Structure 1
Amino acid sequence: MANQQRKWALITGASPGGMGEAEAAAFLKRGVNVIATSIDTDDIEYLQPEKDRNDGFLVTLRLDVTSTKSIDAAVKQVENLTDGKLDFLINNAGYGYFGPLMDVDISQAKKQFDVNVWGVLAVTQAFFPLLRAAKGTIVNQASISGVEGFSRPFMGIYSSSKAAVMNMSAVMRVELAPFDIHVVTLVTSAVKTEFYANRTGGGILETSAYFPIKEELEGMMGRSLADGRGHERERVAESTVEELLRTPPPLFVRKGYAANVLAWLMWLLPTWVLDAQSVSGTPVGRLQNVLRGNADTKKSD
């Protein structure tokens, strides 16, 4: 009976090394039962907490957010497991497809949106009855890259997908208010996860207009948070879950330097200043100099 009284949280994209995994651990420590899902997770596995601890129960479940069949199967299993209620839906599944907009493969760009945008909507629609029954909370994973004014080059497809999530989350928040369902937009910046290691795209072909800065560009896109930069994901997850468990939860949860300070600067500074910084502070500035005949200009960092 004690287990039935606990709250339940379902997390998509809870793969090893990611934010979803860290959030699952944070929920469990606070006595919330967690359904950790991933496209690579084996079918349902039920794990009890350690003896003499008040942790929640952990259930792992395979879920492909781009597959209607997979989503429907997950809903049925979760419905039976939780008696038809879901307190938290954490839409965390996503990945990054990087590269110059003039070079991106449209089919790959569509796959990016299938996971990062349509996957969020499809999963939320499917679990809506369970969320409604629990008057639950939906958490949509966004990014500083989706904030208006963020013009970091070569992240256009990923940034666009996160901008779509942020706007969809805002509308969802209003439309679900009559059902007492809370919608939280989680905006993060640099966090140490396997996100960059799992990215796609980034190769610059000789036919690309950006080939003159191939080395710098691939270096910029290839740098990951594995070199020590960014916030510890466990620490970010702990503070995030603390905020999500508040009554009521906040409309926005912002984690990381860029998600706070830089977001404020993007609101304060005019667009032309932000664009100029994105040009001069990236390999785009070097390409601009190359095309203007200043090939001896020092390479940008």
Structure 2
Amino acid sequence: MINLPTALITGCSDGGIGSSLAKAFQARGVHVFATARKLSKMTGLEGLPNVTRLELDVESPSSVAAAKETVIAATSGDGRLNYLVNNSGVSINFPAVETDINDARKLFDVNFWGVVSVTNAFLPLLIPCNGTIINNASIGGAMYLPWGSFYSASKAAMRTYSETLRLELAPLGVKVTTVMTGLVTSQIFENTQQRHLAETSYYTPAAAEIASLASGHTVMPHAMSTAVYAQRVVDDAIGGRSGVRWRGNMASVAWLFSWLSPTWLMDLALLSTSGLKHMMK
């Protein structure tokens, strides 16, 4: 049976934030249940001591329930979890009015409803440990970034849900941290379906900028490594932090813009970098 503190992390595919979080927690003496939709996506964690790889699809209630039973069995049968990290996420970078609504719904199923499902399932294991829930939101949830409307909306919903949860779970002894993640060298762009504008699209003048953002070429040169980011998030968690934390490159700038800058100034910056300026009359 596992006698160490434990953490369960969703979205631990190789090269991403979740994988680095798993390694950072493991290095701090925590037994990690690293999860992804398929074990084949987590080869970088295979064989690491105190890391148990599990298949978990956040969209599948039966998959979530099976992972929960595995954790219960591994922790003396009474079910104990010190840290739950909701990290799974997908992105869409495309004009809002030209995005297939089914794709937008699926994004919310992963980024928001998946978090709700996993949190509800594992909460009974966190309460006996006075555990901590860590929700990976995004600076997009504090801004309105052209071409990222549905991703940003899902992360804004996550932030509101997560901060409300922090208040509701405080009497139960469970902390909640909302990480407003900035630019990090994750795999989210590689895992994002590439979409192409129709010939009749309203947004053809901005096609180059849309494609550049969707590929990550615009932001990745300025991103923080997943290892550095993960170390800071794990330091927050083990240090007992809760509430909103801004982590990753440009996170502080996003905080400044979202709270202190006038709307017209943010609009000016976003219009100039998104390609929308090519469409202005």
Q: TM-score range by the shorter chain?
A: over 0.9
Aligned mate of 1:100, from 95, 103, 121: 95
Give the conservation status (yes or no) of the 8 Å contact 2:10–2:88. Answer: yes
Give the conservation status (yes or no) of the 8 Å contact 2:184–2:220. Answer: no
Q: CA deviation at 1:152?
A: 1.6
Q: Distance in 2 between matches of 1:46 and 1:103?
A: 41
Q: Distance in 1 between matches of 2:220 and 2:251?
A: 20
Give the conservation status (yes or no) of the 8 Å contact 2:257–2:266. Answer: no
Give the conservation status (yes or no) of the 8 Å contact 1:24–1:34. Answer: yes
Q: Which runs of 5+ in 2 are unaligned?
A: none
Give the conservation status (yes or no) of the 8 Å contact 1:192–1:226. Answer: no
Q: TM-score, normalised by structure 2?
A: 0.93
Taking only the aligned residue pairs, the percentage that are identical comes to 36
Aligned to 2:247: 255
Is 1:111 aligned with 2:103?
A: no
Q: CA deviation at 1:47?
A: 4.6
Aligned mate of 1:139, from 124, 134, 137: 134
Q: Distance in 2 between matches of 1:37 and 1:65?
A: 10
Q: TM-score, normalised by structure 1?
A: 0.87
Q: CA deviation at 1:228?
A: 3.5
Aligned mate of 2:273, from 274, 281, 290: 281
Q: Distance in 1 between matches of 2:146 and 2:251?
A: 18
Is 1:22 aligned with 2:2?
A: no
Who wins on radius of gyration, i.e. which is larger? 1
Q: Distance in 1 between matches of 2:137 and 2:204?
A: 31
Q: Distance in 1 between matches of 2:202 and 2:35?
A: 40
Q: Which runs of 5+ in 1 are unaligned?
A: 50-56, 293-301
Change (3 A) 1:224 1:41: farther
Give the conservation status (yes or no) of the 8 Å contact 1:116–1:161. Answer: yes
Give the conservation status (yes or no) of the 8 Å contact 1:99–1:201. Answer: no
The one-letter code of the counterpart of 2:269 is Q
Q: CA deviation at 1:276?
A: 2.4
Is 1:125 aligned with 2:120?
A: yes
Q: Distance in 1 between matches of 2:23 and 2:272?
A: 41
Q: Distance in 2 between matches of 1:35 and 1:160?
A: 29
Q: CA deviation at 1:224?
A: 3.5
Q: Residue by residue, what CA displacement relative to the aligned partner does 1:175-202 show, whole Å, maximum 9, x if unpaired?
A: 1111100000011111112111111253
Aligned mate of 1:181, from 164, 170, 174: 174
Give the conservation status (yes or no) of the 8 Å contact 2:13–2:41. Answer: no
